[in-house]
Structure formats: structure tokens, C-alpha cells
A and B are shown apart, each in its own frame.
Chain A
């Protein structure tokens, strides 16, 4: 990270929290989901609205080294159905579905035999999909598990919403002519001052913040 981008990240984190922290939260959610369901893998896919693709944002278990950052079209496949219809769904023996393999296992060789997927919903938006892959074969699926999946998806959607806000804040601060770029410049200027001038600068900023109702 350059000095400027560190600063931007710091200011963004000050506004909404840091991307790293939210990514860690997403990882923790998929880790717990995998563990609770006794599954082989779990992942969070995020919708990239610009490219209309789903992107692996958090992966634990099989495929965790290779899937992170992988993309595929959001309009098709099982994850696409879950996202578009905002409806959770559970499927077993999925290796029979060639398109499913393409969804999740492109380039990894890992083809799961079972999938639970729930949409990540925040307000009226569908942000992505939470997947839990390969539950133990001997256990029949029950409605209680569907409820549990929904609870995890709800938790994940809150974390994803925060992550997206953190990214947006960083993006806004990173724009040269962005309206909030001045905030980053101010922070940089004050940060560069020493001793009493720095103290005076901070006092000035506090006064400004108070005056603006912050």
C-alpha cells in the first residue's frame, strides 16, 4: 500500500470500518457455517453489478486456495437462480448437473455432490449468495437446516453490506476530483504536521466538525 492509499483506507475505516475486518468477518461466517453443517466447503459469492458476475469473496474448505476472486455470469446456474429469485434452495447429487460443476468448480476440479444456497438480502437488494457444499451424505435434509441456513445468510448479508460500504468509501476517497477527496487531503496535511502545529491542526478540525454538526 502506498502512503496515500493507506491514508485513504484509514479514513474509510474511520467512516465505516476496514475492508480487512469485514473480509475476516465473512471468512468467519463461512467457517462457522461449514462447521455447523458438517460440510466440506462453504463460500460467499458477491454480485458485481457492473459486470453482472458473481465473485467468490470468501471460501473455506475445498477450493479455498483457488476459488477466491473467481467469477462467473450471474444470470445462470443454480447460484444465479438463487440470486435472481432471492430464494434459498437445497440440491443433492449435483455432480449430475454439468452446469453446476461449471458454476462452482471451474478450474478447480472440485465437483460437489450437494449444495445449499441462500441469497444475501439487504433491504430490497440481493447482494450475493451463501453456499454450503457437501453436507454429510447420511443426513437427510430438514426444514430446521433451511432455517439455520437463512440465519447464516442474514448474518452474512449484514457483513457484506458493511464490506460494500467500506469499498465505496475507499473508492470515493480515492477519486482525485471526488467530493470527499478533500477529507483525505486534510487528514494527510494534519498528519504531516509536528508537535504544536499538529495539535493546533487537530483542534481546528475538531472545531470544524463541531461546526458542521459532526
Chain B
């Protein structure tokens, strides 16, 4: 059986008038979701023909260089700061990329999902002190914008931030924003990649940019290409780079390809599709 599309279930929680935490007997029919899944979820079903068109991706990083030929046009670019009353301030980013890293991530996403929209939320480069607050502010801003996928190639080791990050990650999860986060390359405790509501990514050494592996021994859930990757960098140039922070945008791009084709998928369902189509999971790809 070939199913061309998972049907939109069209369920709106705000209009359902259901009690928040329970399901009365007579309400069962009201939440019936006419989802149709193929007998076997394959790569072809998941991403075949998708260019990422319609998917909105956010690069939460050091900014993205505007006009880089390997990145394409940006949808939007803001820089985050914290105001006098500790409010989050998002202003147009005129500086671009302060390190090159955000441009590299955007380039990886653009190469694999050329038609997805890419926005930059810069959380680095203003001051070093207080960078943690800016990071949290940037993530909160990005979650509020309703992006489909947020690429977070960074983490924090500060335990006091873990609670807020956890709350933001869960909030994203329930708002259907997929948070793709780099696992740490070193054996240290850092966040948010350890949370189960995010898609955490480590590196594999294969050259195939679409090869990704499900890890049956979490907390790192997936491995994507992260070694010797050619990426755009500052000044319109390219470099070869390695690290989990470059594996993450590969996974972000794969998520964008899937969500562009199947926009109804929740983060929970998307993770299941990733599992079923992972390179190391049995069955037709």
C-alpha cells in the first residue's frame, strides 16, 4: 500500500473544550485523528522529493554572514541582548557572524534542504559575561517565533540554567518546534542536549551527509555527519571542519526535509520517523 501523505488531523486543542488532564468517555470520538501511515516508513516516504520548502529553520548561534553564496538569502536575522529590566531584546543583526560558526551551520542546512527558510538568532559575541542569559533569552525568543526546527549547536555547563532550559525545551516540544541540540564532545554534563524533549546529535565519520544513526544507548539519540565537513565560513570562503556542532545542522536539515513534506508531524512523531529511517535501523530505507 502506498500512502502519499499523512493526513492533517486538524485538531486544535483550544477549540476542543476538553478538560485539560483527562478524557471523558464521550470525548473520545472528538480527538479521533485520521492519521494514515504507510505500512513501512521509508526514507523515500519521509524525504523523497522534499527540498525543505515551507519549513522554517532557526540557527541559534554566532550569527550568519549575509549574502554568502553557500547560504543563500536569510529570512530574518536578529541579535539578542538583555535589557535593563532583564527583558529579552531582539534587534536586527547588522553585524552578521562574529565567529564563522553560525554561517557554517546555515550552509550545511542550505546544502541539504535548499528551499527551507533560514533565520539567524545571534546569541554570541556581545559580551562574554552574561552570555548564558543571552543564550536562554535567544532560545526563548526562538521558541516564541514558532520555527519548525531550531538548530542549537551549543550547550551550557551551568547547572542553574538547566531548569530554565528544560522548561524551554518542553515548551518547544509541545508547540511543535523541534529543538536539535549538539551533544558535548567531551565527557562533561551540559544542557540542553541531555533532555529527552530535544533531538540530540553526536558525530559519525561517514562522508554521506544524509547518513544518520540511531543510538540505542542514549542520552545521545542520533549520530550525523560531523567529521571533515566542507562548510561556508566568513568572507564568502569555505573550510573543512569537525565536531558535533557540525553534525547537528545535518540532523536539522533532515528534520526540515521531513517536516516540509509532512508538516503535521509532532516532534514525538518526527523522532519516530527518524528512528524508523535511521541508517542502522532495519528495513527498507
Contact = CB atoms under 8 A, between A and B. Distances in A.
Contact of A97 (B124, B203, B235): B235
A187 B155 CA distance: 46
Interface stretch (B83-91, B127-135, B256-264): B127-135
Interface in A66-101: 74-78, 80-81, 83-94, 96-100
Contacts of A90: 241-243
A153 interface: yes
Given A80-B125, A99-B100, A92 B239 contact: yes
B101 A126 contact: no
Contacts of B16: none
Contacts of A47: 128
A17 interface: no
A119 B100 CA distance: 17
Interface of chain A: mostly helix, strand, loop or mixed: mixed
Given A52-B128, A81-B99, A85-B245, A98 B235 contact: yes
Interface in A42-82: 47, 49, 52, 74-78, 80-81
Given A91-B241, A92-B240, A96-B233, 13 more contacts: A49-B129, A76-B125, A80-B124, A85-B154, A87-B154, A87-B182, A87-B185, A89-B101, A89-B245, A90-B242, A97-B100, A121-B186, A150-B187
Interface of A: 47, 49, 52, 74-78, 80-81, 83-94, 96-100, 118-119, 121, 124-126, 140-143, 146, 150, 153-154
Interface of B: 62, 98-101, 124-129, 131, 153-159, 182, 184-188, 190, 203, 205, 227-228, 233-235, 237-245
